[in-house]
Structure formats: C-alpha cells, structure tokens
Amino acid sequence: MKSELVSLAALLLAACGGPAAAPNIAVRDAWARAVPQAKGSAAVYLTIANTGGTSDRLIGADTPVAAMTMIHETSLAGGVMRMRHAAAGLEVAAAAEIHLKPAGAHIMLMSLKAPLVEGGTIPMTLTFERSGQRNIAVAVTDPLAAGPPAKE
Amino acid sequence: MRSFRIILWAMVAIAAVLFGVMFFQQSRGVSSEPVSHAANPAKDFGGAFTLVGADGKPFSSTELAGKPYALFFGFTHCPDVCPTTLARLVRLRQELGGSEPQILFVTVDPKRDGPKEVGTYASLFNAPIVGLTGSPEQIAQVKKQFGIFSQEVNDGAGGYTVDHTASVLLFGKDGAFAGTISPEESDEMARAKLKRITA
C-alpha cells in the first residue's frame, strides 16, 4: 500500500513538471496465484503505466523465487492457446498503460525455487530499456483469483 | 543421335505414365477417404476412454456415467491459460453450489506430466478436480476422440511449451456432448452453460 502511495505521489510530482522527452514508468497491481510447492511454473500479472513523453520497453524480469524468468505473450486463435517468449519485450507507449493479465501477456516464472504463499509477496526486479530497473513486490493471491487483490 | 532421341522419348513416355498413375491414384484416394467422420460427427466425437489417474491407476470413462462433467486439456507447465481456466471452472461451480459438474484435467504433455504431476496440479485449486494422464498413445487417442489439437513448441529457453485447444468440453448426465466454453466467453455465459448441464 505504502509503495503505491509513494509511486502515486511521484507520478503526480512528475506530471506537475510537464511532459518531458523521457518515459515515466510506474508499476502497480502486481499479483500471482499461490503455488503450494517449490516446483513448476507460475505467472505474474501487473499493470505498467507510462506517463512520460516517450515510450519505454519492458525487456526483462528477475526474481529469486524462480530459476528462470521470461516475458511471455499468450494468444488465443481458433480456440487454440499459444504461448510465446516476447523476445523484444513489451512496449509501453507514452501516456499509455499496458496490462499483463490472464490469457494475455504475463511474466512467467519457471522452475520455482520457493512456494508462492497466499497472502505473502514475492520480490521482483523489472528491467526497462530506458528507465532501468524497478523493484516491485508481487502480491500472492488465492489460487482461484482472477485479478489482483482488492485495495483496502 | 538417333538412340539419344529414342531415350528422350522413352523418358517422356515414362514420365507420362507416372504422371497418369499419380493422377489416377489421387482421384481414387479422394473418393475412397473414409466418409464416416463427415457423415456422423456426433457419433465419432467422444466415446469411451481409458487414461491414468493421479494415483497411477487406470481411469475409465465409465466412472463418469450418470454425472455431468467438464473436460479440459492442458499441461502443468502452463502458468497462465490452464490455471486461469481451471480456477474459473472451480469458482463458477462454487457459485452454483454443489459438487457438479465434475472437472477433469487431461494433460497433453504426458512426457512431463505423470500421475504425480497432474495430481499436484489438480490440487492447486483447493477443490475436487480429476487430473488425468496416460501413455503418449492413450493421450493421442483421447485427443483424437475429442478433436483436441496440441503441439510442442520450442520455448527459446531450452524447454518447450505446448500449443493446445483451450476450450472446455461439456457433457451432460447422459454423457452426451453439450457444448463448449471458450476462454474468451464471459463468466456469466460460462456459468449459464455449467448450470444447464447440472440441471
């Protein structure tokens, strides 16, 4: 909650400064469903908002709870689900948001090294082409969740 | 020179004969293709099957007799659409109250998903889900019976993902096919469909 207030404040301050020729990235609502065992895969979903004047690109993600982390895009065509590594990352246009959500794009955690415990958080570092690294906390929801936990 | 010409003409003759044979075979092939699938799609769809349960023991479709069920094909290394679909089915079933329909998860990745894997995956949702696997032959057979597509694809990290049909197949108490739920359909529509087969 606190970190979101801080980033909201930062956003407002940045907005006051007027549009600059730079991206202004804020990440929010990062969540993942609980996984009881330190085994298998998991998906992290989140929203990236860019209130800056130029686009940026999410090009990497890392977390200590998984041996490997990759950015994936899911597509559904003709009833067939396909998942692909987003090799070029995900673009976040200026003054736009992208939503990583179920059946869309997600950050895939492969070979979990620790369980994802409901109610807890997992640390993650996102790497942006221009904005550099951002550390975030991913909220772990119950396994039936369809979206991030409701804000208090 | 003359013998050369003869040889050339012989080659032309042989080519013509081969071409004629190919053409003849092809037209015969088209007409002799089994017609049953197109003529009786309902009859050919579904049917009895035997797979392997999470306990490692054979699971026969006869165990499903008299009860409605939802059949979903996926794989345990799938972090997004598969958990999303199963979670939605469980959630909607809870909203309807009761324990019907049965939810079955069949892996299209028998190489990595053995009984233990599908059992663990099915238990991720804190609700009864029947996890099923089998030999590659059994899985291929069931996929064919239910018209399910799946394909291994390199994931760019030394492993593979599996493209697969993501629709949930619904079956009524009488075992008859009762439609599908696509991942793109709303919860309201999906719930109504589940309600119809449990009525």
Q: Give B108-154 as a DSSP string.
A: S-TTT--HHHHHHHHGGGSS--EEEE--HHHHHHHHHHTT--EEEEE
Mutation target vs A (from B72, B73, B77, B81; most A CBs, 10 A cutoff) = B81
> What residues in chain B have their Cβ under 8 A from chain A's Cβ atoms?
76-81, 83-84, 87-88, 90-91, 120-121, 123-127, 149, 153, 155-157, 159, 161, 163-167, 182-184
What is the model's pLDDT at position A138?
98
**The pLDDT of residue B38 is above 60:** no
Q: What is the mean pLDDT of chain B?
A: 87
What is the share, in percent, of chain A residues with pLDDT greater than 70?
A: 88
**The pLDDT of residue B27 is above 70:** no
pTM for this prediction: 0.79
Mutation target vs A (from B76, B77, B84; most A CBs, 10 A cutoff) = B84
What is the model's pLDDT at position B40?
46
Pairwise CB contact (< 8 Å): A83 & B84? no
Q: What is the mean pLDDT of chain A?
A: 90
Measured CA to CA, the distance from residue B97 to residue B118 in angstroms comes to 25
Pairwise CB contact (< 8 Å): A85 & B155? yes
What is the share, in percent, of chain B residues with pLDDT greater than 70?
A: 87
Measured CA to CA, the distance from residue A141 to residue A148 in angstroms comes to 7
**The pLDDT of residue A3 is above 80:** no
Pairwise CB contact (< 8 Å): A80 & B153? no
Q: Which residue has the higher pLDDT, A68 or B40?
A: A68
Neighboring chain B residues of A106 at a CB cutoff of 8 Å:
79-80
What is the model's pLDDT at position A58?
98
Residue B37: which pLDDT band, with cuts at 50, 70 and 90?
very low
Nearest to A31 by CA among A139, A143, A149: A139
> What's the whole-number mean pLDDT along residues B120-147?
95
What is the model's pLDDT at position A150?
82
Nearest to B43 by CA among B177, B198, B173, B162: B177
Q: Are A70 and A63 in contact (CB under 8 A)?
A: no
What is the model's pLDDT at position B36?
39
Measured between CA atoms, how close is B58 to chain A, in angstroms? 25
Residue B19: which pLDDT band, with cuts at 50, 70 and 90?
confident
What is the model's pLDDT at position B169?
97
* CA distances from residue A138 to A8, B81, B102, B125 in whole angstroms, order as listed: 17, 19, 32, 20
Measured CA to CA, the distance from residue B48 to residue B60 in angstroms comes to 8
Nearest to B121 by CA among B35, B31, B53, B184: B53
Q: What is the pLDDT of residues A66-98, one digit of tens each?
A: 999 999 999 988 899 999 999 999 999 999 999
> What residues in chain A have their Cβ under 8 A from chain B's Cβ atoms?
33, 35-37, 39-43, 68, 70, 72, 74, 76, 79-85, 87, 102-103, 106, 108-110, 142-146
> What's the whole-number mean pLDDT along residues A123-142?
97
What is the model's pLDDT at position B124?
87
Mutation target vs B (from A37, A81, A82; most B CBs, 10 A cutoff) = A81
Neighboring chain A residues of B89 at a CB cutoff of 8 Å:
none
> What's the whole-number mean pLDDT along residues B23-41?
47
**Residue A110 CB: number of other CB atoms within 10 A?**
18
Residue B22: which pLDDT band, with cuts at 50, 70 and 90?
low
Measured CA to CA, the distance from residue B162 to residue B145 in angstroms comes to 19
> What's the whole-number mean pLDDT along residues B78-96?
94
